[in-house]
Amino acid sequence: MTITNSSSNRSSLTSVVRSTQTFGLATSEGHACRSQISAVVRDIESSAVKEIVTVVFDDLLRLLECLDLIEVHLRKVDSADQTFALFQLIHDDARALVDFVQTEVLRPEAVTGELFDTLDGISFAVNHDLQRVFETNPSPSGEGKTHAIAGRLYRAHDVLTNCLQQSTITLAMVFDPELNGARLFNNSDMRFRQSLELCEDLAQLIQLVEAVEENPAEFGPLVDGIQKFRNESMELLMYSDWPQFENLCEQIDPQRKAQQLEDVLHQFRCYLETLLGQVRMRAVLANVFPLGFGDQRFSPARAESAPPHYEHSDFNNLALAV
């Protein structure tokens, strides 16, 4: 299958949305984003790479535009069935994008190096969030028209929007490392909600770690809390943070010797505290957590207690998503 043919097979969602009069045109922000992405692509020297990247960018932005167009219907309980149907079309088109990347792009003769790793990561992230949204949230048939359904739609919209935006920013930064993600997407309301939620979830996880440090019998709730964070909150982190978070989680094993477990829990708590501090520094939370706002838990003295392994880490670069 050629790139052209593969791209033409992913057009069902676009045609349906454009033919639905209740949905308007793409926003001016969307057009501005496409313009900036076009400038990034224009500077790619390799024609083969440019062709591949153009297809991926086009699909990512088209899916984001469709999500933007259906946002107004998310709280309309009476149209939940129709909105779920549109989400299914988004699923099908996003799944086609993942299949395209995995079968047509991730080949040594097609792309290499950082671009290969980035596209592989995008494929994993999109597939991960598609499973979270669709496999754990069946259609509303038989549940009745309740506001709980509308809440699920809103959550699905946020998860997919976040995933596709991060994927777009990450791919663009392969070719323009100085690119500012905040200039690509103007969605401060969603980022505000997500950042507050992430702060709360990280704080709860820190409390669970502290409870185990004080009483090892509290290990069970910590395991449950880590799994809950993985299932519900991890996608709110930057994708680049996922491996480090997972690596630390895998080291938390009750079978470890007491001193080893104590060290791992200390490292994990320091990591979570630093991560929470960085999330609170996001621009969208500037009015909630002014510069310098904090308590003793996040003071410089507490940060200095981190183990030597983390003295030269990239903690200060974590979680600075727009």
- Where exactly are the structural domains of the chain? 3-186, 189-317
pTM score, whole prediction = 0.59
Q: Is residue 4's pLDDT more than 80? A: no
Rg (alpha carbons) of the chain, rounded to whole number = 21
Q: Is residue 150's pLDDT more than 90? A: no
CB 233 within 8 A of CB 191: no
Residue 103 is classified by DSSP as I
Percent above pLDDT 70 for the chain: 69
What does the mean pLDDT of the chain come to? 75
pLDDT per residue as tens digits for the range 234-285: 877 776 677 888 888 888 888 888 888 889 999 999 999 988 988 888 766 7
pLDDT per residue as tens digits for the range 182-236: 777 766 676 787 788 889 999 999 999 999 999 888 888 999 999 888 877 887 7
Helices (H), the chain: 3-8, 12-18, 28-42, 47-70, 80-100, 113-130, 147-175, 181-184, 188-214, 219-232, 242-251, 258-279, 300-303
Q: Is residue 299's pLDDT more than 50? A: no
Give the pLDDT score at 261: 86
CA-CA distance, 139 to 98, in Å (whole number)? 22
Residues 285-314, mean pLDDT to the nearest whole number: 43
CB 170 within 8 A of CB 100: no
Give the pLDDT score at 233: 81
CB 82 within 8 A of CB 48: no
